[in-house]
Structure 1
């Protein structure tokens, strides 16, 4: 997975939507690019229903949370790190008012053992029709 430039890409996480790697290793730190809930090899987003124009008709934040956490885990493990080595997580939500309580409950289930620093912010939009994205730092 790694090359001499310390750029890391997962064979399981969704393909990046631009020119960036899934992660980059610097010393004993692993910096993950923004990770969303999309599925590798398709444009499918768990829990999202789109109309023919690509506009979001409905979405399930719970399904997206589970999917994004799974994708982060894929990247960590393929890079030689792990869930328990996360030290900082920035979470971007597109609808804090309606989604925070559900996201926060699911987050607490995933992070019972390891409690990295966390920042959660609301943003207007993400590059694909998703409601959550994570930006993470872990140790290796």
Structure 2
């Protein structure tokens, strides 16, 4: 099964030697998306502002891979402060849902000053 890496300048750049996404067969693996602008500037402000920025970055990389977040089968959400769980759920619902919402794991982690990071696996079939 061939694989290809995906990158786009419509999302925050990768923060190291990794791809924004990898397409392998009929699966797209989206790397962690953070609340930053395409030029790498961190988004500040409310938790909701940061969450929207992270999800917009994830969607932009999905689009560059020829897919959309509607094709997500798994989403990982990483929160600096688990007290933001309800606010995250509200924003999350704007990007995922429908008849078959993806499975999700939400984990509290140290994000070096950022409030949220998200990643996903998409199925193209």
Structure 1 and Structure 2 fold alike (TM over 0.5): yes
Report which stretch shifted further, 63-72 or 109-118: 109-118
Q: Of residues 11, 14, 18 in structure 2, which corresponds to 1:13? A: 11
Partner of 2:64: 78
1:56 is aligned to none
Q: Equivalent residue of 2:104, what SS?
A: strand
Give matches, 1:1-140, under 5 Å.
6-47=4-45, 60-97=46-83, 99-113=84-98, 114-123=100-109, 125-126=110-111, 128-140=112-124
> Would you identify which runs of 4 or more consecutive aligned residues in structure 1 move more than 3 Å?
none
Structure 1 unmatched runs, 5+: 48-59
Unpaired runs of 5+ residues, structure 2, are none
Give the C-alpha shift of residue 16 in structure 1. Answer: 1.0
Task: Describe the superposition over 1:24-53 as per-residue Cα deviations: whole angstroms up to 9, x where unpaired.
Answer: 111100001111111011423242xxxxxx
Would you say the 8 A contact 1:39–1:46 is kept in 2? no
* Structure of higher CA gyration radius: 1
Report how many aligned residue pairs link the two structures.
Answer: 122
1:43-71 deviations in whole A, cap 9, x for unaligned?
Answer: 23242xxxxxxxxxxxx110011111111
Contact 1:46/1:67 (CA < 8 Å) preserved in 2? Answer: no
Per the TM alignment, residue 5 of structure 1 is displaced from its structure 2 partner at its CA by 5.2
Distance in 2, matches of 1:44 and 1:23, equals 20
